[in-house]
Amino acid sequence: MWTRALVTGASSGIGRAIAVQLAAAGSHLVVVARDEAKLHELADSLDVPCDVLVADLSDRAALASVEERLTGDDDPIDLLVNNAGFGLHGLFHELDAERAAAAVEVNVAALHRLAAAVAPGMVRRGRGGILNVSSVAGFTATPGGATYSATKAFVTSLSEALHTELRPHGVHVSALCPGFTRTEFQARADHDVSSVPDSAWQSAEDVAAAGLRGIAKNAPIVVPGAANKAMVGVINTLPARLRRAAVARFAR
Ligand SMILES: NC(=O)c1ccc[n+]([C@@H]2O[C@H](COP(=O)([O-])OP(=O)(O)OC[C@H]3O[C@@H](n4cnc5c(N)ncnc54)[C@H](OP(=O)(O)O)[C@@H]3O)[C@@H](O)[C@H]2O)c1
């Protein structure tokens, strides 16, 4: 379905699984992250052409090199997977302010710039897809994860509006909203998840497959897994006061 995809955060977790599944379906790839060795290890393991683009997406100059690849009309990218991101756990006033600001840069500003770089060409060509990796955390404000939740609320909101704007131009846009997924994410976020039951977890491969199914059929929002779907369904029906109380209880 996709001729050439650019996947950010392809060095690990969900992004890596998406890249592997796209390659298995025959898509050529451009893979982006900071860890050059892991990107080359991935590229070498695939049976399709795969370009490695090493970039720290919190760095504007590095980000510009990725934007440039997305705006070019030679070998155009017809699927952008905006997946790179990271979380932070802890009380807002106790967080490292630089790291929190970097989360906004990577999860929000970089994702926004990359979507803005690729969209005009897709509209011109009358086809394409943008799969933005958000989170169930974006459906409600989360004490203890305030910045992260807010970044993902942005991603879901942006994606939903772009879905409607770009649909008449033949461009698919989906927000993939995973719950607990076994990747490096929790360790990097310094989040102790030892009390989260096994049944709440999904594999990166299952989440990736749900995301790719969703963007293929142009689903606006993809919540992978029955438990996550049920949780989001409940959150969406609760009045704001009850929702805040429930989330505060869960966050403790
Ligand atoms: N795992 C979960 O429970 C979960 C749940 C909901 C949503 N998500 C979302 O899923 C996405 C993927 O996360 P994951 O779970 O697969 O975690 P992961 O295993 O930690 O992977 C994160 C990826 O993002 C890249 N990345 C992080 N900061 C970057 C930066 N400054 N510049 C470029 N790349 C950067 C990392 O690559 P380098 O370190 O090589 O740069 C890595 O490839 C994220 O957007 C996350 O918010 C995850």
Domain of 229, in residue numbers: 4-251
3-state secondary structure 43-73: HHHCCCCEEEEECCCCCHHHHHHHHHHHHCC
Q: Is the pLDDT of residue 190 over 90?
A: no
Report the percent of the chain where pLDDT is more than 70. 100
Confidence of residue 101 (pLDDT cuts 50, 70, 90): very high
- Whose structure tokens read 């090199």? 65
For residue 121, what is the domain's CATH number? 3.40.50.720
Distances (CA, A) of 149 to 163, 166, 244: 21, 25, 13
Catalytic residue among 2, 148, 154, 185: 148
Average model confidence (pLDDT) for the chain? 96
Mean local confidence (pLDDT), 7-12: 98
Q: Give the ranges where the chain is alpha helix by DSSP (H).
A: 13-24, 36-45, 60-71, 97-103, 111-125, 146-166, 185-188, 204-216, 226-237, 240-251
How many whole angstroms separate alpha carbon 137 and alpha carbon 149? 5
User: What is the side-by-side order of every strand in the sheet holding 4-8?
Assistant: 50-54, 28-33, 4-8, 79-82, 128-133, 171-176, 221-222
Q: Is the pLDDT of residue 247 over 90?
A: no
Under a CB-based contact definition with an 8 Å cutoff, are residues 172 and 80 in contact? no
For residue 10, the ligand 1 atom closest to its alpha carbon is: 43
* 16 Cα: distance to centroid of ligand 1 (angstroms): 10
| Residue type present at position 244 | R
Confidence of residue 173 (pLDDT cuts 50, 70, 90): very high
Q: Is the pLDDT of residue 251 over 80?
A: no
Is residue 176 flagged as an active site residue? Answer: no
* Domain count for the chain: 1
For residue 84, the ligand 1 atom closest to its alpha carbon is: 24
Output 127 or 72, whichever has higher pLDDT.
127
Under a CB-based contact definition with an 8 Å cutoff, are residues 179 and 225 in contact? yes
* Ramachandran quadrant class, 237 (left: phi over 0; alpha: psi -120 to 50; beta: rest): alpha
Confidence of residue 72 (pLDDT cuts 50, 70, 90): confident
Q: Is the pLDDT of residue 85 over 80?
A: yes
For residue 8, the ligand 1 atom closest to its alpha carbon is: 34
Supply 162's token pair. 């772009």
What pLDDT is recorded for position 36?
Answer: 98
* 106 Cα: distance to centroid of ligand 1 (angstroms): 10
* pTM listed for this prediction: 0.97
**Ligand 1, from 16, 18, 29, 34: best to mutate by most atoms within 8 Å of Cβ?**
34
Q: Is the pLDDT of residue 73 over 90?
A: no
Residue 201: closest CA among 222, 177, 228, 181: 181
Confidence of residue 252 (pLDDT cuts 50, 70, 90): low
Mean local confidence (pLDDT), 26-55: 98
Which residue ranges have their beta carbon within 6 Å of ligand 1? Answer: 9, 11-15, 33-35, 38, 56-58, 83-87, 106, 133, 135, 178, 180-181, 183-185, 188
Q: Which residues contact 22 (CB under 8 A, 6 or more apart)?
A: 2, 5, 7, 29, 79, 81, 212
What pLDDT is recorded for position 248?
Answer: 85
Alpha-carbon Rg for the chain in angstroms: 17
